[in-house]
Each structure stands twice: as C-alpha cells, then as structure tokens.
Structure 1
Amino acid sequence: MARLLSVILNWRTPEMTLRAAEAALAALDGIGGALTIVDNDSGDGSYERLSAEVAARGWDKGAHPVRVLQSGHNGGFGAGNNFGIRAGLPGGERPDYVYVLNSDAFPARDAIRILLDHLERHPQTGFAGSHIHGEDGAPHQTAFRFPSVAGEFEAHLRLGLVSRWLAGSVVPLPVPVETTRVDWLAGASLMMRMDVLDRIGLFDERFFLYFEETDLCRRAALAGWPTDYLPASRVAHIGSVSTGMKTWSRIPGFWLDSRLHYFAKNHGRGYALAATAAAVLAGALWRARLMIQRKDRGDPPRYLRDMLNHHIRRGFRMIPAASRKGRS
C-alpha cells in the first residue's frame, strides 16, 4: 500500500485548521499514512489548542494518526510545509507521496483517493491537484501557465484583441472540465510524488508567500515530471483566510519579493526587468483607457508605482538565486 504524508499548515486559524483536518481524515479513510499539522509559529495559542484538540478527539491514535508540530519560525508557506515534509511519517518513515492541503480547504470524501489513484496509474506524472471551488460551489481559477514577459503584458493591458493575439501566454487557464496537463496549480490541494521532491528539492523557502508552487512545478517540469489537474477531485476552499489577500489595500512587499525572485531565479535579472517593464507599460496604457471608459481599475492603489519602486530598490542589486534547473 502506498504511504501518504498529508500536511496542513496553520497560522492563527486553529478552528479552521481543525475543520480542514476533520475533512481530510474522512477523505483519507483506507489510505495508508499519517496527517501532520504544522503550526507556523502563530504565537496565539494555536499550537496548544491544536495539540489538545487532536488528543481529545483521539486523532493521534487513529488509523491515520495525526500529530501537531511547531515549526518555531514563520518562514512562510513553503518553509512551513517543508518542515512537515522533512519530519516524514511517524517513526521517521519515508512517504511515497506528500499531500499539501490549505487550512481553509475541505476535500470531498473521494478527493484525496482520486489524486492518489491517478499518480499510481500514471508513474510519469509528478504532481496532481484538485478542482477547487468556493463553499457556494463556484469554481476557483487554480490552473495556470508559467508567467512570462508576454503574460505580464497581456494581464496588465486587459485588451481583448491583445489577449487573443497572446492566447498562448495568458497565465490563468479556463477551468478544465476533464483531466488536463497544466504548467502549475495553486497549492490548496496538491499531491506530490516523493521521488520527484527527492530529485528537485522541496519548496524554495526564499518565497515567503506566493509563487512557491509556480517555482516547484516548473522545477518538476524541467526534470520531466509534469503536473495534472483532476476535476473529479473536488475541494471546497474559502481562500485568503490566513493571508488576508481579499482585503489588501496595497500590494504587500512579500508578494513583490516573490514575483521578482521567481523571474530572476528562473530567467535571470534581465528577463525580470523586462517582465516588470511589460507590466508597468501595459498597466499605464490600461489606466489611460480608464480615463475614457471609466472602468474599475482592478488593482490595489499605487500598484504600478509600488511594483516599479520595488524593482528599482531590489532588482538591480539582486543576485540571481539559482540556475534554472537548480534545487531549492
């Protein structure tokens, strides 16, 4: 039987995390392995609350044992999940697969089994991810192409003619209705082959938040391990509970850091500069249209200015993090 390590990362959402763990345990019925909850140094009593509740519910002694670990440092999404992955299965066993689930995501009873069966049947596939939808059933856009200069221009210009012309570079993909190979998937519900992680490394911890899944899937793809999207594996997701993305009044520095690091690491500083220039130029043209058409701007205040200033401050003195095929 395949051994699966499931990891849920908590940061100041213990009740939500317990709800996600409960849904995961139901979906893990009959699958060998264990579930690890990592508290990412919440500092609000989350670790104590989670530990006590896991013991009170008997989850630590169940068929699919649950343990709660304290990372001791909030290094972000990738670092927290890496902490759980490195801990391995109870007793130090190596899992065959790793399943990462957001603390505000709730898999259907067959969602995890569908991912596992797919990877078992397709040994050349590296990662597999779920169809993510809101609690109202509305699908979330979680399947993407890799970012590029052309993709940055298209996304910020928002002009139908150009979008059709650059159709092969548009980053968000239409929500697939059948099993589909994609460049990368959001990490709300993502299963990974441990052999692949052993080869390419875990999440790059220099990404605090955002772009870490993009980078990991790209490294896997370059090593010959593609990613598949499985619409039959359904997971309800609230979204942005820990990050607060839906309420951002300004684009945060960690998002800009991650974006710049992704382009510089994978393509070099010159390409990163071109990507920022494309975004700023297209964004400026979009804003010029707004003066006539009175459309919603669609970006946080000072978005372009913040992006440009960030690149000036960080981009020109930044050392590329690794070669394109380098380990995290």
Structure 2
Amino acid sequence: MVVDNSPSFDSIKNLESWAEGNVKVERTNFSSLVFPENNKPLKYLSISDTEYWQKSQNDDYDVIFVKAGKNEGFAAANNVVLKTKLDRSGQEELLFLLNNDTVIPPDLITKLASKYVEHDYGVVGCVLLEYSKPDIVQSVGGLYNKYFGITTQALEGIKINELGLEKAHIDYPVGAAMFLSIKVLKQIGLLEEKYFLYYEELDWVQRGKVTYSTTYFEDCFVYHKGGVSIGSNHKSFIADKYSLINRINFAKKYNRTYLTTTYLGVFFSIFKRFLFLKFKRGASLFYEVLKINPNKF
C-alpha cells in the first residue's frame, strides 16, 4: 500500500503510469537491488482514503495507491493504512512502514519478519545507510535527552564495517523504516497525528515501553536519502518548526519535570538562527513557539 498525501494528483498519476509499465526507472545507485523490475502491468487499485476505509477486502492487488484527502502529516498518512489493519487483521500479521525515499534489499522483509518473531518486541527499526554513501551509517535509531528534549541519531556517521563492534542503545526507531505486529499496534494504538512531523516514533514507543522493548537489527539495511519527503536534504522551515515545537509538545505529554529546561533548549536553538543571521527564520520560529499553550497538547 502506497499512501500519497501530496496536494495534487500528479504523484498518483505517475504511480499509476508506472504500474501500467509506462514509466521506467532510469537512474539508481543500486542497480543490483532495483533491477530487474517486476513485470508490468501490475494489478493495482487507485482509491481515495475514505473509499479505502470502506472497502472490505484489499488482498487481490499487487499494489494499492491510496490518495489522502489532504496532507495532515507523517502520522496521519501512515494511519490511513493502520486504521484498517486494526479492524481487519489477525494479531500475528506484521507491518512494515517505509518512507518513499528509500531502497531496500529484496530479502529485507523476510529478515525482519524472522528476527522479529523470535522476541517479544514492540516497534523496531533497521540500520539506515546513506543513499549517496552506502558504507556510512545514517542512523540505527534515535536517542532522547530528557533534560532538553533533544533527539540525536545513534551511531550516525560510522562506517558499516564498524557496526558489529557493539550494540547501541536506542530510545526509538527512525520513522523512515519501522516494523511491528498487529498485536503491538492494537495495544499501543495509532500514531499520534497532533505532532504532524517528528516525535511520532518516540511517542509510539513511549506508550508501549512498559510492555515492549525497542531495538534495531544490525543486518537489516535500508538505503535512505533523508529529507526528500519534506522537500530538501537541508532543513526546511516546516522541518525546523516542527522539530522545535514538538520538543515542547512531547515534554508536555511525557516529560513535564524537565519542561522548563526543554523550553530553554528550544529558545537557545532559535537564538542560534539569529547568530547565523537567519533573522526571518528565527523570528518566525520564536512566534511559533510563543503560540504553544504550555498546558495543552
């Protein structure tokens, strides 16, 4: 299932054209993983999100393209499919959430499934490798600093041959590639849509941490471009905005003891925008933070 929450129908039309065999992949850094492509045409269904929720059976297609009515963020897009899984799937079914700016090895899902069922895990992740530098680790998962609400990427920048030296602790898997079971989904619920972007994965894991642990599998690789879904590999304003305000929102929900220091960390981050002469962005971010109600989320 591919969910498209872009503002136009261009992406859906391109996806349909690809499924019909009219669009060929011309460039890839991973020819051995991408080619040969599946024979076209594929048996596909293109449907709106409301029609998708009403449809009782969706198993007769190679791929389903679901057009969301509007862009309500990362969690809402994933929840389009997750909502139907809650009602129609058995507890043993497994789910793999994957961003659109990724390439995966053909055996990845088989590996994930076999490793996952051996343990009583919650939401788990993969090793994300840099798409343009596949020997460099982008992340194996995120770490959360409770004092200032900052998230960082575990093992970011190390070489792939250094992965096996020790297992890193992570607080949550990166949302670009997350794996879980229907059983876990039914216990922890859907992704929190109020965040729009960032902190959804951490919130998800937080809800299930009493019962489930999280981890990553060292030999499960995903080649990830990063930032493509939000328009750039450089931090756009929308990414900047939600990374800051959701530091506060998450702390309000789970970490109120350190809400004051989290606010201080956010204002320091904004101050650095002014130091780098990004006055317009700094002022806009300051305004967005001031709009937050410290007592509501």
What TM-score results when the alignment is normalised by the length of structure 1? Answer: 0.66
Q: Counterparts of 1:196 and 1:266 in 2: how far apart (Å)? A: 20
Secondary structure of 2:144 counterpart: coil
Aligned to 1:174: 155
Matched with 1:128 is 124
Residue 216 (structure 1) shift: 1.0
Q: Secondary structure at the match of 1:234?
A: strand
AA partner of residue 46 (structure 1): S
For residue 312 of structure 1, report the CA deviation from its aligned partner.
2.8
CA separation in 1, counterparts of 2:216 and 2:149? 21
Q: Which moved more, 1:182-191 or 1:271-280?
A: 271-280
Letter in 2 for 1:228: T
Per the TM alignment, residue 308 of structure 1 is displaced from its structure 2 partner at its CA by 4.8
Counterpart among 70, 74, 78 of residue 75 in structure 2: 78
Instruction: Please state how far the C-alpha of 1:227 moved relative to its aligned partner.
Output: 1.1
Shift of 1:111: 1.8
Please identify, of 36-45 and 61-70, the stretch whose mean Cα deviation from structure 2 is larger.
61-70
1:172: Cα distance to partner? Answer: 3.2
What are the superposed Cα offsets for residues 124-178 of structure 1, whole Å, 9 maximum, x if unpaired? 11122111112221210242222312564xxxxxxxxxxxxxxxxx843225824
Show the counterpart of 2:193.
Answer: 205
How far does residue 92 in structure 1 lie from its aligned partner after superposition?
Answer: 4.3
Residue 238 of structure 1: aligned partner: 225
TM-score normalised according to structure 2 size = 0.72
- 2:69 counterpart SS class: coil
Change (3 A) 1:300 1:104: farther
The CA deviation string for residues 307-327 of structure 1, in whole angstroms up to 9 with x for no partner, is 5543333144x41x3xxxxxx
Shift of 1:93: 4.0
Deviation at 1:104, TM superposition (A): 0.6
Partner in structure 2 of residue 23 of structure 1:
none
Offset at residue 195 of structure 1 (A): 0.9
Is 1:46 the equivalent of 2:46?
no
Worse-matched range after superposition: 54-63 or 132-141: 54-63
What is the aligned residue count?
254
Asked whether the 8 Å contact 2:227–2:235 carries over to 1, the reply is no
Runs (5+) with no aligned partner, structure 1: 1-35, 153-169, 291-296, 322-328
RMSD: 3.3
> Structure 2: which 5+ runs fail to align?
22-39, 45-58, 157-161
Tell me what 2:292 maps to: 314
Q: Within 5 Å, which residues of 2 pair with 1:147-226?
A: 147-150=145-148, 152=150, 171-175=152-156, 177-178=163-164, 180-221=168-209, 223-226=210-213
Percent sequence identity over matched residues? 22
Task: Look up the SS of the partner of 2:223 in the other structure.
Answer: strand
Rounded to whole Å, the distance in 2 between the matches of 1:121 and 1:64 is 30
